Amino acid sequence: MPLPRMWVEVRQKFLVNACLLGFLALITVAITALYVSSERNFHWWIDWHSSAIRVTTAFRESPWEGLQLVKNSLVQDRNWIYTLPLVPFLLTFGTSRLVYELALALVYLLPFAIAMGGICSKLVRVHQQTVFWATALLTLLIPVSWIPTFMGIPDTGGAFLIALASLVYLQDVKLRRWWQIPLVGLLLGLAVLLRRHFVYGCIAFLGAITVQALLSFSVEVRKKPQLAWRNLIEYGVRIGLISALAVSTVMAVAWQFTYRARMIDYGTLYKSWNLPFGEITSLYASYYGWGTWLLVAIGLSASILTRAVALPTISFLALSGVFSLIAWLVVLRYANVFYSVHITPLVIVGLFALIWTTWISVKGKLRTLILGIAGCYLVSNLVISLAPVGNLSHFLHPLFALNMPPLVRTDYDEVVRLVKYLRQLAPKKEPIFVVGNQRLQLDSSLVRGVEILLYGHEGRILRLLPVPKVDSRDTYPLESLLKAQYVVVPNSLPSYPSGGVLQDTNKFPVVGEWLTDKELDVVTVVFDAFTQNQEIAQDFRRLPVQFTLERGTVVSIYQRIRPTSLDTAVRTLNTIVQRTGERPGGQVDWLVVNPYSNYSVVKKNLNNTYKLVSRPSDRLLKADSKELGQSQRDRTQGKETSFLYLGSLPEKAKVTGAIISLSEPCVSSSLRLSTLNKDGEIFSSLEAKYVPNDSRRFALSISGKNSTYLLLDILSYDRNNFSNFCKMEINSVTVSNQKQ
């Protein structure tokens, strides 16, 4: 071919590709802008946007500060690596919600669509450019491809990395090209770093190529056994190298998170989210529509039977899709809509297989009719799912995807009024406990998100206490409740749909949570305490101002009028324990029970010992001396920090640890160890002096027979100087059986 002609064709091809890319980008921007602009809602659930603003602000000061902020986040379950590609957009166009959503769509969703185009172009050997762009467009016709972006979550970024790893693998399914192994391992590791749950995407990927290797071996071993075994061993080594490189990538970037994650049983921690198989299957079907699944099944079956597509490619894609289905519908059974990104590639491949098989196998008007019906269905499915069209008739509804339109809160102004009122009540960061859940669309995350929206990070003043929300993951609510100066309580909590999740799906999918009532005991036990005026609620008074939210929910605010006594706290704990049954997954053996040790904490060490940190608050409630005894007055004056042990007590308990003073100067202090019954009454007690600034180990023994709890108090003795208290740390704390 003459060189000038070749350059003309290259330029024409480049221009065509550039125009098609611009067309897809235009569609992405238009749909995102239209959807986000139609919302009137608070994006409070796992506020990824807020984190992106913080990183962008840091980068505006200096790139080093921004990178350091992202680096510091690597120890968290949800790190901020995802913000790095978004920063140029946010620095250039601002940090508004619309700009953030557009950046997510262009940085993560559009590349995911392009990667799927590349994958499907490997299924055929002709018209690859047309196949590439048609599949990319097809990806954008799948409604749930958009929802993670509209929720502000970067999950399509993880899906893009897994798809890119698949595309690299499909360059040679035998993995004989030297660059495939390190690149695939790197991409899989980056996917897990971006979002932790993509470890299941990696498992599906590795499972699919492993099964492919075994299938290839089963065919070869009958003809050339020796060669087959050698190929299998070589293939196994390559798969092992990919796995090792993926793990190494995660460890090299976030080694602290990786080390901690090895110690956590995530299956137990998140079992509250497990739905029954029937419900989760129906829900995932509704995310795409039964009509979509029918087209996928026909497409995969027809393409394999007619050999219309490359068999090694379709088998890998089908296997990885099946493994993902098993992971999310059988093993995990989590219903959050953004997890559907693991399933979406299988749906896209199936739809493409249907279109391609029809194109090459059916002729004339019938082909036009089939493709026309499929195209109209896919476009209608997108519109019905994302537009505020309301519910379809019962007969047609299952064929189409779940309606997930832009959220519009009818109580928007009332929520704003609630947050402004809380700021008036607690201008000095008095602790606030918010009772609620995501189904109600009211909890501490909502209040925090609204305050940031109204006043920015710098203008925040509300101190919202950590509030447990889920039984299997969180803690008992007592510790935060004892510290609370104000408690926000609705008059009702919406129940889980009695007819199954699909009976009430108006807003749940984009809010994010599907939890049955039995998994919310850590929430309802506090709700019942105030709505039924139980003992601990009598330490508060209800303020006259109320707020009416959606569905007629009336929200009241309770103000503390006196500190909660130890015996009330213990009896409340017993009620909580009985209601919740099995101990919440995040609850450790010790908790702080001093109402005004606001900054005291309990930390569990990796060797299963504990660190008890005593940092009494300088914001002290002036308790009525006539009402409280001396011990209780000590507790409210910041002179004492109390830690309650929840584990099983032997008949003769021995408590050991190492004391370190964290403040200079430190007044005289001592440790007091007591055993309590379930009503908070003291059975026995002993006290040991502590010499200031003398770091040393201690060992205290006490009879635990017939006792329910163990109480460890750190006491200060300067009665004349209430501002001078000890900041202390007791490390390596253990409770064991005292040998006779």
- pLDDT average, residue stretch 327-338: 91
Sheet with 652-661, strands from edge to edge, namely 601-604, 610-614, 728-737, 652-661, 696-703
Q: H or E segment at 321? A: helix 311-325
Q: How far apart are CA 381 and CA 369, in angstroms?
A: 18
Q: How far apart are CA 484 and CA 479, in angstroms?
A: 9
What tokens does 384 get?
């019905």
* Stronger pLDDT, 523 or 261, i.e. the higher one: 523
User: What is the Cα 317 distance to its own chain's centre?
Assistant: 27
Residue pair 497/503 in contact (Cβ under 8 Å)? The answer is yes
> If you write DSSP's letter for every residue of 100-151 in order, what string do you get?
HHHHHIIIIIHHHHHHHHHHHHTS-SSSHHHHHHHHHHHHHTSGGGTHHHHT
User: What is the Cα 475 distance to its own chain's centre?
Assistant: 17
pLDDT of residue 390: 62
* Stronger pLDDT, 653 or 94, i.e. the higher one: 94
Range in 32-41, 271-280, 510-519 with the lowest mean pLDDT: 510-519
Range in 318-332, 463-477, 602-616, 658-672 with the lowest mean pLDDT: 658-672
- Is the pLDDT score of 667 beyond 70? no
- pLDDT average, residue stretch 444-470: 90
Classify 616 as helix, strand or coil. Answer: coil
Sequence-distant (6+) residues with CB within 8 A of 308 are: 302, 353, 356, 357, 360, 361
Confidence of residue 629 (pLDDT cuts 50, 70, 90): very low
Partners of 464 in the β-ladder = 432
What tokens does 162 get?
């897994």
pLDDT of residue 600: 83
* Stronger pLDDT, 701 or 135, i.e. the higher one: 135
Tell how strand 463-464 and strand 431-434 pair up: parallel
**Range with the largest mean pLDDT of 105-114, 353-362, 559-568:** 105-114
- pLDDT average, residue stretch 307-332: 93
- pLDDT average, residue stretch 69-81: 92
- Is the pLDDT score of 331 beyond 90? yes
Q: How far apart are CA 301 and CA 145, in angstroms?
A: 24
Range in 5-14, 318-327, 506-515 with the lowest mean pLDDT: 506-515
Confidence of residue 343 (pLDDT cuts 50, 70, 90): very high
Classify 174 as helix, strand or coil. Answer: coil
- Is the pLDDT score of 542 beyond 80? yes
Range list of H helices, 326-464: 344-361, 364-386, 412-425, 444-455
- CA-wise closest residue to 670 among 703, 712, 631: 712
Partners of 690 in the β-ladder = 669
Burial 333-355 (b: 16+ CB within 10 A, else e): bbbbbbbbbbbbbbbbbbbbbbb
- CA-wise closest residue to 42 among 5, 97, 99, 3: 97
pLDDT of residue 311: 87
Q: How many CB atoms lie within 10 A of CB 105?
A: 24
pLDDT of residue 457: 82
Sequence-distant (6+) residues with CB within 8 A of 177 are: 171
The string of pLDDT tens digits covering residues 460-514 is 999 999 999 999 989 999 999 999 999 999 999 887 765 555 555 544 445 556 6
Residue pair 242/181 in contact (Cβ under 8 Å)? The answer is yes
**Range with the largest mean pLDDT of 53-62, 492-501, 594-603:** 53-62
What tokens does 360 get?
């090459």
- pLDDT average, residue stretch 685-700: 72
E strands within 423-505? 431-434, 463-464, 486-490
pLDDT of residue 475: 93
Confidence of residue 301 (pLDDT cuts 50, 70, 90): very high
- Is the pLDDT score of 544 beyond 50? yes
Q: What is the largest CA-CA distance in the chain?
A: 103
- pLDDT average, residue stretch 188-199: 95
Question: Which pairs from 503-506 meet CB under 8 Å and 24+ separation?
Answer: 505/286, 505/402, 505/403
590-737, which class in CATH? mainly beta
Residue pair 282/336 in contact (Cβ under 8 Å)? The answer is no
What tokens does 63 get?
């790139």
User: What are the backbone angles phi and psi of residue 46, rounded to the nearest 5°?
Assistant: 50, 80
Q: How far apart are CA 356 and CA 368, in angstroms?
A: 12
- pLDDT average, residue stretch 430-449: 90
The residue assigned the tokens 């519908």 is 329
Q: How far apart are CA 352 and CA 375, in angstroms?
A: 11
Tell how strand 709-716 and strand 640-645 pair up: antiparallel
Partners of 560 in the β-ladder = 540
- Is the pLDDT score of 131 beyond 70? yes
- Is the pLDDT score of 619 beyond 60? no
Query: DSSP label at 437?
Result: B
* Stronger pLDDT, 136 or 456, i.e. the higher one: 136
User: Which residues belong to CATH 2.60.120 in the chain?
Assistant: 590-737
Q: How far apart are CA 500 and CA 397, in angstroms?
A: 16
Q: What is the pLDDT of the chain when averaged over all its residues?
A: 87
Q: Which amino acid, residue 195?
A: R
**CA triple 322-78-613, angle to 5 deg:** 135
Q: How far apart are CA 32 and CA 98, in angstroms?
A: 8
What tokens does 661 get?
């003073």
Partners of 612 in the β-ladder = 602, 730
pLDDT of residue 723: 43
What tokens does 502 get?
């699909």
Residue 18 gets the label, from left (phi > 0), alpha (psi -120 to 50) or beta, of: alpha
The residue assigned the tokens 């008890």 is 612
Query: The pTM is what?
Result: 0.89
- pLDDT average, residue stretch 60-70: 94
Confidence of residue 636 (pLDDT cuts 50, 70, 90): very low
Q: How far apart are CA 735 and CA 723, in angstroms?
A: 32
Confidence of residue 281 (pLDDT cuts 50, 70, 90): very high
User: What are the backbone angles phi and psi of residue 654, rounded to the nearest 5°?
Assistant: -120, 125
pLDDT of residue 558: 97
pLDDT of residue 121: 94
Q: How far apart are CA 278 and CA 423, in angstroms?
A: 45
